[in-house]
Chains A and B, each alone.
Chain A
């Protein structure tokens, strides 16, 4: 019964003309509430929680509550590690799919991809390089230089002579007659490091 009442409250708060709280918050809250309620009605769980001494019960509530509250802050950067659990949640339909990256040419003429996550393995992931919100032109230039320097430190015998900043593209629906290919590549900017870094 209480689930129905809560669903009604959500309807009013999220879909009324005032729309106080967005549905992507209240809808998730309802789903979570259903699960928590389910556990509250399961006797072994109730017994287990009741058997906990006070400090342990408080700790259990704090740790789980922290994770739930962190999810609803919708601000992973401020409250990390209490993050918003956000994996593949939005609709994407762009075609072709594109991505910017740095490709270096070494002294021997070899082409190598300069990937931040490989040259700096501490980093799990950087922001996509095509996101102007996170990178100015100056920062892209500085990054190209840092990547080339990092590559040279590990390959002193075959250093980078130049770096190309390119955009790769993969067609989502290639023509049926097309043979499987590598992503298409378009040059955006060229950096010349032949005189050294």
Chain B
């Protein structure tokens, strides 16, 4: 087989992910994303934040716009409980798909405030940021549908519009990986991949013990194979991160990307106590469901 043909075979067909997606898949995505946030918040005893020293709280994002008095009032157990239940109520409403542009916008605002609140005692970490941006996508495109329908004089929205938010969510997920990769390569350069950097990061993260706490990572120096795996894995993972946008167009690439990155995230949990639970659920959108299940496909116009 000539080289060009072999390469073409390896790359596989290049087709835009979710191009054929119909309203049912969009509805399922809305349901999945709102359910994810709903269950996440159900498990969160947010009111406990009031027991932490107030002096440690430094408002971030939109919370920094609130006056000091309002911020103090919000950080009371009662206010935090009311805020949590109000957000849960809006998310529950979002699950019904009624008045979706308004409800999803409200949900986006409340979830942004919630995400800023839980980050006020520490750095603006990336966990669940893509899941939050995905809510922005659903809200934004719901308004775009609304205005487009209004300006095209009440015509029913074409099924093709369903693919826009789905492709955008996957694009944001891929872009987040790509930006992480570019940042690492440009800032760290070659020395980052040659030395003990990954080993240090892993031990450091394992010592810090976040919510998940495996107590394994600090043994890394005793396990040469794991040290080798970390050193060899960093450039491989960085390469996949940098090329993540290919997930949008190549099914062959996705079948490499998904198992490798899922294993990477799982190993991050084992050795570093870090887990991007929300991103893992968004990975479901890396499967082109509408090509597999005709009922999720849009009707031909």
Please tell me the size bucket of the interface on A.
35 or more
Partner of B53, one of A44, A71, A142: A142
Partner of B199, one of A44, A52, A83, A172: A172
Task: Tell me how many residues of B have a C-beta within 8 Å of chain A.
Answer: 93
A22 to B179, CA, bound (A): 16
The B1-55 residues at the A interface (CB cut-off 8 A) are 14-16, 19, 43-46, 48-49, 51-53, 55
CB of A143 within 8 A of CB of B56, answer yes
Q: Which B residues are in CB contact (< 8 Å) with A182?
A: 218
Asked if B191 CB lies within 8 Å of chain A CBs, one says: yes
Asked if B72 CB lies within 8 Å of chain A CBs, one says: no
Shortest beta-carbon distance, B65 to chain A, in Å? 10
Sort A-B residue pairs by CB-CB distance and give the 9 closest, nearest first.
A80-B61, A99-B207, A85-B179, A27-B186, A76-B124, A142-B53, A55-B144, A126-B122, A92-B200
A150 to B191, CA, bound (A): 43
A174 to B223, CA, bound (A): 11
CB of B198 within 8 A of CB of A88, answer yes
**A89-B188, A139-B56 are known contacts. Are A128 and B218 too (CB-CB below 8 A)?**
no
The B136-161 residues at the A interface (CB cut-off 8 A) are 136-137, 140-141, 143-145, 147-148, 151-152, 160-161
A94 to B204, CA, bound (A): 10
What does the 1/0 interface line of B154-189 toward A look like (CB < 8 Å)? 000000110110011001100110111011111110
A90 to B136, CA, bound (A): 31
CB of A113 within 8 A of CB of B123, answer no
A69 to B148, CA, bound (A): 26
CB of A28 within 8 A of CB of B182, answer yes
What does the 1/0 interface line of A19-51 toward B look like (CB < 8 Å)? 000011001100110010001001011001001
A72 to B189, CA, bound (A): 18
Q: Which B residues are in CB contact (< 8 Å) with A173?
A: 221
Partner of A83, one of B43, B58, B124: B124
What does the 1/0 interface line of B192-234 toward A look like (CB < 8 Å)? 1001111111011001111101000011011000000000001
Q: Which B residues are in CB contact (< 8 Å) with A172?
A: 196, 199-200, 203, 221
**A32-B178, A146-B52 are known contacts. Are A183 and B207 too (CB-CB below 8 A)?**
yes
A183 to B196, CA, bound (A): 18
Asked if B280 CB lies within 8 Å of chain A CBs, one says: no
Q: List 19 A-B contacts (CB under 8 A).
A: A24-B186, A28-B182, A32-B179, A39-B248, A44-B15, A44-B19, A67-B172, A67-B176, A77-B64, A79-B61, A80-B112, A93-B195, A115-B210, A117-B209, A123-B118, A124-B128, A124-B211, A125-B210, A180-B219
